[in-house]
Amino acid sequence: MMRVEVHKFALGAPDDLSALRAALDAGTVRAEQIVALIGKLEGDGFARRLAAGATARLLAPYLDCTPEEAERRFPMVWSVGADGVISPHVTIFTRDDAVAGDGQTRRLVLGTAFAEPILPEEIGRIGQVRKMMVAIRAAMADAGLDDPRDLHFVQTKVPALTVAQIAAAQAAGRDLATSSPQQSGDLSTAAATFATALVAGELTEAQVTDAVIGRDADLYSSLASASSGAEIVRPQVLVFGMSTRGSGPFTIGHATMRDAIDAAGVRAALRSAGLDFGEQPRAAQLAQVVSVFAKASPDPRGTIRGRRHVMLDDSSFPAHRHIRAAVGAVIASVIGDTAVYVSSGSRHQGPPGGGTIAAIVRLGE
């Protein structure tokens, strides 16, 4: 029972939301209908704060609330790292619950939820998995989805621990899964991903134990995308699916990039979203592609199709920047658009060295 609209705007800088402002002023986007955003930013971690603050301050007057309230109103997934050709942009999702689907045509639906706060000692463990499962199911309910087979993409944003938080927790006698801030984020996204896989029926409860979270790369979800941030208190969940309850021109599909150069995986995501083509999509079809979301990691085994890669050996350039630059360019070369969302750190989110990829297409009403 919803009409979802998907708007992609170029960002002139992390705090340059002039394109969104114009859409708000023109009425093509209504602030009170925004339910989520996923954005890709240039710069470092501070760009995320700059973007989040600027968005909240832009929306506040339209929502008749304070910027602080606007910032907490809906999930904002801001990711930094516009590496290689990747062009900074944001995808804004609006939802109008007054418009019902026709009960026959499947269209994009979207639900969101916040999870319960994760305790430091739960991070990266079954405790976090359980809380995330509750939230993912709540987001599915919010989306009006009851069959996991209708899911196409589950984006989670989960907490990571800082040095200070780790020290405090350990001083309080809490047993943590890791004492490394970096690893706490990795384990946290791993737990969120296993929660997605369990809800989606990709894995069974018996397979998911503390011992495999963040470790057994052969266990993975094909529709999870997870990010972590030290600023996150309550994890955020966005679920995207297809339903006859959905209305509007947009569809979503997903596939798996089996490695960093898997252009066929990109095309498979486009087909999954409903574009029907032979070897290559037509120009008119590419014009229908709105947003692509992908996860990526350097293959931990050190090779791609038998060839050695050096991303993990490079002491001067972080591996996550190498892989984003590579995968972003591959996707852009298929869809002809460099405004693609690629997030690094894909452990369990697709096979080792590969990653989840989802595509939203304006297929028509």
Contact residues toward a second copy (CB under 8 A) are 10, 12-15, 42-47, 49-50, 53, 82-89, 163-164, 260-263, 278-280, 301-302, 304-305, 307-318, 321-323, 325-330, 332-334, 336-339
CB of 230 to a second copy, least distance (A): 10
Q: What distances in angstroms separate CA 317 from CA 83, 229, 298, 320, 325, one per listed residue?
A: 11, 21, 13, 9, 12
157 flagged as catalytic: yes
Query: Rounded CA gap, 55 and 239, in Å?
Result: 22
Q: Which of 8, 40, 131, 157 is catalytic?
A: 157
Give phi and psi for 322, each to the nearest 5. Answer: -55, -50
CB of 286 to a second copy, least distance (A): 11
CB of 243 to a second copy, least distance (A): 32
Q: Which of 221, 225, 227, 297 is catalytic?
A: 227
Q: Name the residue nearer to a second copy (CB basis): 25 or 44.
A: 44
Angle of CA points 277, 280, 281, to nearest 5°: 60
Q: Name the residue nearer to a second copy (CB basis): 322 or 347.
A: 322
Residues with Cβ within 8 Å of 213's Cβ and at least 6 positions away in sequence, in order, are 124, 125, 126, 129, 177, 187, 190, 191, 194
Q: Name the residue nearer to a second copy (CB basis): 133 or 327.
A: 327
227 flagged as catalytic: yes
CB of 117 to a second copy, least distance (A): 22
Residues identified as active-site: 157, 227
